[in-house]
């Protein structure tokens, strides 16, 4: 059972917007930066969003992140078939250590 | 371009030992904390361990504490994971992942991942 809670799956049509939630507690999301990872089928995870809402270079602005209290959200606009993947949120649990990472269980995005 | 390449995975019997390696290139290895993250077949990501750039700070997940040892050789740009007393539940794809700072932190995320090496524990 994962520390952070994500919906197992979400779906939307091409061109639409989808959001993926990530719920935690005051010791993890509530007290630390959140990052999001995209895992395309058969590949390694890739950093999509860091520090709650920052995009690494090369990540299109269709992807955005936000955080409020003990929850975080990933939004994807203008959905494309190539966005079909598993998405994970992650942060560190400060009640354990500064570097003790915890992840959500992952959300499978289906583009209809 | 920063890259990570894991190796050392394989099929092991329960109770056995294995050492994973992760060779880094394209960045100043000693300046960054490094992590091991694993993914059991069909499951999500599970963080395993982290080591700071100077090896001064090390943390482990409870599930591997006392059995796994993380280390690094900055002269060889290589991260290691010594895995002892292996169990069936250790079966997973093991990734190494780079932190954004010399000390472990959530800030910056895990910005570079290797392709993973597979560990299977079965009799």
Whether residue A44 is predicted with pLDDT greater than 80 in this model: the reply is yes
Whether residue A8 is predicted with pLDDT greater than 80 in this model: the reply is yes
pLDDT at site A98:
74
pLDDT at site B97:
98
- Say whether A90 and B45 touch across the interface (CB within 8 A): yes
* DSSP secondary structure code for residue B99 in this structure: -
Task: Give chain A's mean pLDDT.
Answer: 95
pLDDT at site B32:
97
- Say if residues B99 and B50 touch (Cβ distance below 8 Å): yes
Q: Tens of pLDDT along B103-119?
A: 888 888 999 999 999 99
Whether residue A96 is predicted with pLDDT greater than 90 in this model: the reply is no
Whether residue A1 is predicted with pLDDT greater than 80 in this model: the reply is no
- Section A94-98 average pLDDT: 80
Q: How far apart are CA B86 and CA B7, in angstroms?
A: 17
Using a CB–CB cutoff of 8 Å, tell me whether B95 touches chain A: yes
Q: How far apart are CA B110 and CA B114, in angstroms?
A: 11
Q: How far apart are CA A31 and CA A26, in angstroms?
A: 6
Whether residue A5 is predicted with pLDDT greater than 90 in this model: the reply is yes
Residue A36, judged by CB atoms within 10 A of its CB (0-12, 13-18, 19+), counts as buried
- Say whether B113 and A45 touch across the interface (CB within 8 A): yes
Q: How far apart are CA B82 and CA B49, in angstroms?
A: 11
Q: How far apart are CA B24 and CA A56, in angstroms?
A: 20
In chain B, residues with a C-beta closer than 8 Å to the C-beta of A8 are: none
Longest dimension (CA), chain A: 41
How many CB atoms are located within 10 Å of the residue B105 CB? 19
Instruction: Determine what percent of chain A is predicted with pLDDT higher than 90.
Output: 92
Q: Tell me the C-alpha to C-alpha distance, in Å, between residue B110 and each of B4, B82, B123.
A: 12, 21, 34
Whether residue B81 is predicted with pLDDT greater than 80 in this model: the reply is yes
Pick the residue from chain A with its C-alpha nearest to B49. Answer: A100
Using a CB–CB cutoff of 8 Å, tell me whether A40 touches chain B: no
pLDDT at site A72:
98
Give chain A as a 3 state SS string. Answer: CCCEECCCEEEECCCCCEEEEEECCCCCHHHCCCEEEEECCCCCCEEEEECCCECCCCCCCCEEEEEECCEEEEEECCCCHHHCEEEEEEEECCCCCCCCEEEECCEEEEEC
Q: Tens of pLDDT along B16-67?
A: 999 999 999 999 999 999 999 999 999 999 999 999 999 999 999 999 999 9
In chain B, residues with a C-beta closer than 8 Å to the C-beta of A98 are: 103-105
Whether residue A97 is predicted with pLDDT greater than 80 in this model: the reply is no
Output the CA torsion sign for A45, B41, A106, B32: negative
Question: Best of B22, B34, B45, B112 to disrupt the A interface by mutation (most A CBs within 10 Å)?
Answer: B45
Query: Please, which pLDDT band fits residue A99 given cuts at 50, 70 and 90?
Result: confident
Beta bridge partners of B93: B39, B118
């Amino acid at each position: 059972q994962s520390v952070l809670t994500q919906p197992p799956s979400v779906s939307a049509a091409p061109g639409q917007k989808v959001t993926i939630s990530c719920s935690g507690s005051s010791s993890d999301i509530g007290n630390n930066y959140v990052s999001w990872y995209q895992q395309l089928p058969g590949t390694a995870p890739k950093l999509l969003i860091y520090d709650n809402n920052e995009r690494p270079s090369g990540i299109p602005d269709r992807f955005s992140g936000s955080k409020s209290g003990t929850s975080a959200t990933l939004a994807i606009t203008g959905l494309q078939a190539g966005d079909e993947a598993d998405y994970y949120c992650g942060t560190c649990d400060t009640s354990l250590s500064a570097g003790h990472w915890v992840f959500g269980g992952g959300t499978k995005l289906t583009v209809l | 371009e920063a890259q990570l390449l894991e190796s050392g995975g394989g099929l092991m019997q329960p109770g056995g030992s294995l050492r994973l390696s992760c060779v880094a290139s394209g960045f100043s290895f000693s300046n960054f904390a490094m992590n091991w993250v694993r993914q059991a077949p069909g499951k999500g990501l599970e963080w395993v361990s982290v080591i700071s750039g100077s090896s001064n700070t090390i943390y482990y997940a409870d599930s591997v504490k006392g059995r796994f040892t993380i280390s690094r050789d900055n002269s060889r740009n290589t991260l290691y994971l010594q895995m002892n007393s292996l169990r069936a539940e250790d079966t997973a794809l093991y990734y190494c992942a780079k932190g954004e700072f010399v000390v472990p932190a959530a800030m910056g995320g895990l910005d570079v991942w290797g392709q993973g090496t597979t560990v299977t524990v079965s009799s």
